[in-house]
């Protein structure tokens, strides 16, 4: 049973560039959430995708966008990178709201993004 997988694991980008991070949810899960975790802080909710649509969004600018594919995998795109975007980006999967009474989420190992 595959867990949540993310790629790449580490990457370095320059200010102003764009980045795409990828995630495959845990087998059987259909909902993907993305979190940003800065050093020493808790994960901050970016957005959640279900049925290929953005369902909920946290307090992040429009530079952060995403996509979910028919196979439930997802991408996170960040445009016009800033130094402050340097963080661990975590993908989490869960079952759809309607079938889950607890909405427990399972994290991938994350993608470490450094913006220089």
Residues near another protein (CB under 8 A) are 33, 35, 41-45, 48, 56, 58-59, 88, 90, 92, 97-98, 100-110
Q: What is Dmax (Cα atoms) for the chain?
A: 42
**Which CB atom, from 20 or from 58, has the smaller least distance to another protein?**
58
Strands (E), 14-108: 19-24, 31-37, 44-50, 53-57, 64-68, 74-78, 87-94, 106-107
Min dist. Cβ of residue 7 to another protein (A): 14
**Which CB atom, from 77 or from 100, has the smaller least distance to another protein?**
100
Min dist. Cβ of residue 67 to another protein (A): 18
Cα–Cα distance between 95 and 31 in angstroms, integer? 6
**Which CB atom, from 33 or from 74, has the smaller least distance to another protein?**
33
């Amino acid at each position: 049973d595959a867990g949540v997988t993310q790629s790449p694991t580490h990457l370095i980008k320059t200010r102003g560039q764009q980045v795409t991070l990828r995630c495959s949810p845990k087998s059987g899960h259909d909902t993907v959430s993305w979190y940003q975790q800065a050093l020493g802080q808790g994960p901050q909710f970016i957005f959640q995708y279900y049925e290929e649509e953005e369902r909920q969004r946290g307090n992040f600018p429009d530079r952060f966008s995403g996509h979910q594919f028919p196979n439930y995998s997802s991408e996170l795109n960040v445009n016009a990178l800033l130094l402050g975007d340097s963080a661990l980006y975590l993908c989490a999967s869960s079952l759809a709201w309607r079938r889950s009474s607890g909405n427990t989420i399972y994290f991938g190992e994350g993608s470490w993004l450094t913006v220089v």
